[in-house]
Each structure stands twice: as structure tokens, then as C-alpha cells.
Structure 1
């Protein structure tokens, strides 16, 4: 790929990552509305993974796409699927022991972890400005979410930390799948994720038939649709931009969630939350600028 092609792919990847973050943020609000109507989180997670797998399988049958994975990327794909399962299950389980706000703040340490690990995992040189941007984004997320540190349970903290480590590893594994077709990445990863979500649903004992979506059809549709769009664009973006740039872009997720919650369900935002939103947005602008100025180098 030429230097111009690398730059074009980088621009596309950044746009995809930001849209994916917005889709995930929308997903959070609709899941809350669906939960209030009687649809549990594990139930929604199971069905969204099942639907993604079914849609990808249908697409493979229609377009006869290949499911082959290059030998050199099979380990990365296995790691990507396992880490995707860990992120969902550990993050979902952490909120049983921690306030959601605390779990979110601990989880969103993963962009900082990615920036710190990037020079060791990839050939990307360490960039102080990227680390400072990641730290600023983390502070912004903390202000937006507004964590309540009362009554912390060590089990919840461990699970949230595992989710953060899993998310960081997921981004590196996803970036290593440049030669694997997108359909194959989606199919094999969800084939690994589905049993984990089914096990969680069995443990929680909250299985319901699809007819239960009638309790909140619009919220359920937005929740599932937000995940489908978010995961698709996330996977596509991972092979176009560096893990550090992608991780920082996803700091937009809680900001979108808070702003949508304020518009849709009337949640009131305080001055610190507005400050946090402004800080994250400023960091995203810096992140896009840094990625744009990065010299495009055609891969060997």
C-alpha cells in the first residue's frame, strides 16, 4: 500500500472509531431504558451476540465470503475473541459489586494502558504527547461519569481491572488481523463470544424468549443495533489506525452516553460533567491531529 493509501486508511479508521464510540454510547442509554422495562443486561448481551453471528453467517452464505484466516494471524484472532469475551463478561459482572460509575472509570483506564504498552507491543515509538492526551481523556471521563467511591468491593475492582486489561489486549489483537477478511473476524470472534454470554445468562437465570422484546421494542432494537454498528466499525477501524489512536477515540463513548441520556431521558448534568465533556472533546481533537501528522509509512 502506498503512503497515500495508508493516510486514507488512517482517516477512515479514525472516523470509524468515533462513530463506533457514539454507537456504543447510544447503546448504554437504550440498555438502561430496556432494563427498566424488564429486559436484563445479560439477556440483551446474549441476543445481540447471537444476532451478530446469525447476520454474519447469512452474509457469508449470500456473498460466499471466505472464512479462511492466514496462519500467521490465527493466534491473534483467538486472542481477540477471548479478550472480547473477557471484556463483556468482566465489565458486566463488575457492576454487581461496584457502582456503575466506578466500574466505568476503572474500565476506561485502558486507553492509558494501550499508550504505555504500544512501544513494547508494536514498533511505534513512545510519544509523550499521546500519553498526556490519554491521561487528559481519562480525567475527562472521570469528571463526566462522576464516580462514587463509597462501599468499594475488591471483587468488583478486580473484575473492572480485568475488563480494562482485556480491552487493551483486544485492541492490539485486533490491529494484528490486517490480512484476515472482516467477515471472518466477525464470525470467528462471535463464535467464541457466544458460549460465554450463554453461560453468564444461564448463571443469572434470566433467559427469556425473543417475545420479551415486546416490553421495550424500540429500546431493545437500539441496544442491539448500536452494538452491531459499534462492533462492526470497531473491528474495521482496528486495522486502519494504531491501537493508541483507536483507544483514545473510544473515550468518546461515555461522553456520548451522558449527552444522549440528558437529551432522551432528561438526566441533568453538573458543571464538572460539562467540563469533563469539553476535556474529552479537546483530547479527541488533539488525537485526530496527532494521527494526521503522523508520517504515513507503507508497510513492508
Structure 2
């Protein structure tokens, strides 16, 4: 497999994953309306993910061994993954899906800003311009309705953004552990972390809470399970910067789905801000593609 085809496969996995995550957050808000909080959903979906991974590992005879040199990275991946799920799913209990998605999707901006220090990627004037435009777009989305938005939802969505940036950087460097083993160990770490956070916040509820909105909860958990696996398949093939910017698909899917499913709407100014964010992120996608095109093609082992 060539470098370009390896990269293209990673982008396809990333787009598919982002689309599933976009639907996931819409149904999470629907579940919150019925009383099923984000923390409870995270805890119980982890149990399901662990069971599914164990079944797949047994049936496909896949090893669950973790590379010794990646134990620290796996621990950080597990903790950051727990914070992403809990903060993002909890944010939509306080603010609309579209606003939560745009605030959450500041993480590609964070990745670009951090990449010179983490990945030694040069921070060019063009990249700085992209970040400025994207940041201004986020301000437009949040600013016009700031007085009507709950600060807790904004804080939770941004905390999820920071955790996701950490997750992407670490996952792009955790390549020696297989995907099945990676998903298993991450969720084994997520489980006690999510339970602890739920206990501290007083949001740990019995499994019966999931019955308050069975369809919405099933869609939320299903979108997460398949989206998560595809995400880590993608991160094994593309850089954190490339993955972060291609995930601009999620807020688009989330906004469209929330309009059709939940009847949510954005003001013209907020729509313009969202378009600026997406335009900035897509510009970065094109820059990444140009960089890859100019790089020499080398074979990649499957």
C-alpha cells in the first residue's frame, strides 16, 4: 500500500467516524430531555464496548496485549477519552447541539497551535490566518446568544475540545498496540475514571435510567461504538493535524441532524460564524493535502 492510499483510507475512516459522532450528539441531547444524563450514558456504554471488544478478540483470536513502551500513552488516552465523552455529552443538557458542536470543534484550532511544539510542524502565517478566522467564527456563533447560553454547557464543550486535542496527539503516536487491544485498554481505563467523575458530580444513576429514552440512548451508544473504532483506525494512518481538521464533518452533520430531528435553529450571524469555522478548517485540509502531494511516495506496510 502506498503512502497516498494509506492516507486516503485514513481520511475515509475519519469522515465516517465524524459523521457517526455528529448523529451521536444529537441523540444524546434527545436523551437528556428525557432525563438520561451524559455521565450515565458514558458509564454504561463503556460496559457495552468492553463486552463487544472481548467477543471480537475471542472470535477473531486477536491479542489484547499492550505494547510495554506505550503504557503511559494508553493511560493518557483512557483519561482523555473519558473526559471527551462525559464533557461533550453533558454539555448538550445546557446548550443547543449546534452551539456545543462548534465550541467543541475548536479542537482542530488547538491542534494546529500545538503542532509546532508536539509534531514540530511549522506554524506558517497562512496557518495563523486560518486559526484567526476559525476563532472569529466561533466568537460569532457563541457571541450573539451568549446571554441566553448556560456557561456550564460552554465550559463543558470547551473542556471536551481540550481533551480531544490531547487524545488525537497521543493516539497518533500510539501505533505499536493493535486497534482491538487499544480499544479494550482505553475503555478499561475510561470505566473507573467515568464512574469516579459521575460520583463526584452526583450523576451516577442505575441502568434503569437508560429506559427513559431507549431509542435515543441506543443511537447514542451505537454511534459512539462504531465511530470510536473508525476513529482509531484513522489515527493509525494520518497525523493528528490531518485527523483533527477532517473531523469538521461532525459539526456539519450535527447541525443538519439537529435541525431535522430536534427542530433547532441558528441565527444568521451564528450560521455565518459556523461557515467561517468550517471554511477555515477545510482550508487546512487543502494545505495538508498539498503537503502530502509534494511529499515523495513511499510504500506503507499493511
Deviation at 1:9, TM superposition (A): 1.8
Equivalent position of 2:279 in the other structure: 282
> What corresponds to 2:205 in structure 1?
207
Residue 146 of structure 2 corresponds to residue 149 of structure 1: yes
Deviations 1:19-54 (A, max 9, x none): 222211211111111122232221111112221111
Quote the offset at 1:114 in angstroms: 1.1
Partner of 2:268: 271
Query: Higher mean Cα deviation, 229-238 or 161-170?
Result: 161-170
Q: Is the 8 A contact 2:103 2:158 kept in 1?
A: yes
User: Does the alignment pair 1:234 with 2:246?
Assistant: no
Partner-residue secondary structure (3-state), 2:264: coil
SS of residue in 1 equivalent to 2:245: helix
Please, what is the CA RMSD of the aligned residues? 3.2
Offset of residue 18 of structure 1 = 2.2
Question: For residues 54-73 of structure 1, what are the structure 2 equivalents within 5 Å?
Answer: 54-73=51-70
Quote the residue 2:21 is aligned against: 24
Give CA deviations for 1:264-295 in whole Å, capped at 9, x if unaligned: 12223322233234334434543332222223
Structure 2 partner of 1:182: 179
Deviates more, 1:176-185 or 1:73-82: 73-82
CA distance in 2, matches of 1:276, 1:102: 11
Deviation at 1:82, TM superposition (A): 2.0
Provide structure 1 residue ranges, at least 5 long, that are not aligned to the other structure. Answer: none
Aligned residues: 295
The more displaced of 240-249 and 288-297 is: 288-297
CA distance in 1, matches of 2:119, 2:289: 19
Corresponding residue of 1:195:
192
Counterparts of 1:163-178 in structure 2, within 5 Å, are 163-178=160-175
Correspondence 1:6 to 2:29: no
Alignment of 1:24-103 (within 5 A): 24-91=21-88
Please give the secondary structure, in 2, of the residue aligned with 1:294. helix
Deviation at 1:159, TM superposition (A): 6.2
3-state SS of 2:146 partner: coil
TM-score by length of 2: 0.82
> Structure 2 stretches of 5 or more lacking a match?
none
Query: What's the CA shift string for 1:177-217, capped at 9, x where partnerless?
Result: 122210011011010001122223334254222x5444322
Q: Distance in 1 between matches of 2:258 and 2:89?
A: 20
The farther-off stretch of 53-62 and 247-256 is 247-256
| TM-score (norm: length of structure 1) | 0.83
Q: Which residue of 1 aligns with 2:255?
A: 258
State the partner residue of 2:215: 218
